[in-house]
Amino acid sequence: MFVIPFFCSKNHLTYGIFSSAGYECSFTHRIVARGNNSKQFESVSILCIFSAGVFVQADFISSDEEAELVAGMEAEPWVESQSGRRKQDFCPKINFKKKKVKADAFQGFPAYSKTVMDRLKTISCLSEFQPVEMCNLEYLPSRGASIDPHHDDFWIWGERLVTVNLLSDTVYSLTLRDSDICVKVPVPQRCIVVLYGEARNVYMHSISRSDITSHRIGITIREFTPPFLEGGELYFMGKRILDKATIRELSPPDNDIQLPGH
């Protein structure tokens, strides 16, 4: 396999990717030093936007915000998933093969996600992004967790795939069908990654088992395709889901509940 790394050096990150036309786009961005640490990747302020469709911003959330997110997740049940992963889904029920959507059970996003959802509005490449699905995926090396090369569904999930990376660094692999090209994208802890353009529609993305070296959780957030948005032929269905795609309010503590006669 021909690997094109987004490799790190002490002072610079260099990026390279082949487009579907077969040419290479590469450039360098200077690292902003954040002191000595033992992390796999040095921390940077903005990593990169490039034409093939990968955006990475480090330190999208703080360590305290990360801890609050994980605590919120641990208060919810996890469900066993494929390839050693566990997941939590907050989305309408979708039958991708039959192209059917049921919105009845969808109750919006958990309260702990508000910071992330609000901060998406500060990312330039997420203009007019309307979240309709949030999926938490947990990876543990002891379970051999990974995710195989794939394209996210094109019928309902839109152009931009957003992930917030928690607890540890990892690496995305972008590959082409029937090709030996593999692009390795460093994904630092607490960063946000957006795949769009060729990286979303042409390249498949994956995370190899060897790139899960510690406990990792990815929050993946998706948007609708145009047919489900205003003016589209499926907007009658999309609007019902969009109306529900809000942050759930926290329940009041028990000591605030007044019983009759008290």
Which of these, 23, 29, 18, lies nearest to 53 by C-alpha position?
Answer: 18
At 57, which amino acid appears? Q
Architecture of domain 2-249: Sandwich (2.60)
pLDDT reported for residue 31 = 34
In angstroms, what CA-CA distances link 63 with 45, 189, 191, 216? 15, 9, 11, 14
SS3 (DSSP) at 18: strand
* Alpha-carbon distances of 252 from 58, 106, 246, 257, 258, rounded to whole Å: 35, 21, 18, 8, 11
pLDDT of residue 123: 92
What does the DSSP 8-state code read for residue 124?
G
Return phi, psi of residue 155, to 5°.
-75, -45
Tell me the average pLDDT of the chain: 80
pLDDT of residue 73: 97
For the chain, how far is it from start to end, CA to CA, in angstroms? Answer: 72
Sequence-distant (6+) residues with CB within 8 A of 215 are 138, 139, 140, 141, 167, 168
Q: What's the Cα-to-Cα distance from 102 to each of 146, 228, 238, rounded to whole Å?
A: 29, 14, 11
Residue ranges of the chain with per-residue pLDDT less than 70 = 1-52, 250-262
pLDDT (0 to 100) of residue 250: 55
Q: Is 101 exposed, middle or buried (0-12, 13-18, 19+ CB in 10 A)?
A: buried
Q: Give CA–CA dist 118/132, Å, rounded.
A: 14
Question: Can you give the pLDDT at residue 104?
Answer: 87
Q: What ranges do the domains of the chain cover?
A: 2-249
Q: How far apart are CA 2 and CA 5, in angstroms?
A: 10
| Per-residue pLDDT tens digits for 57-93 | 889 999 999 999 999 999 999 999 888 999 999 998 9
Task: Take residue 51 and report the two structure tokens written for it.
Answer: 């034409």
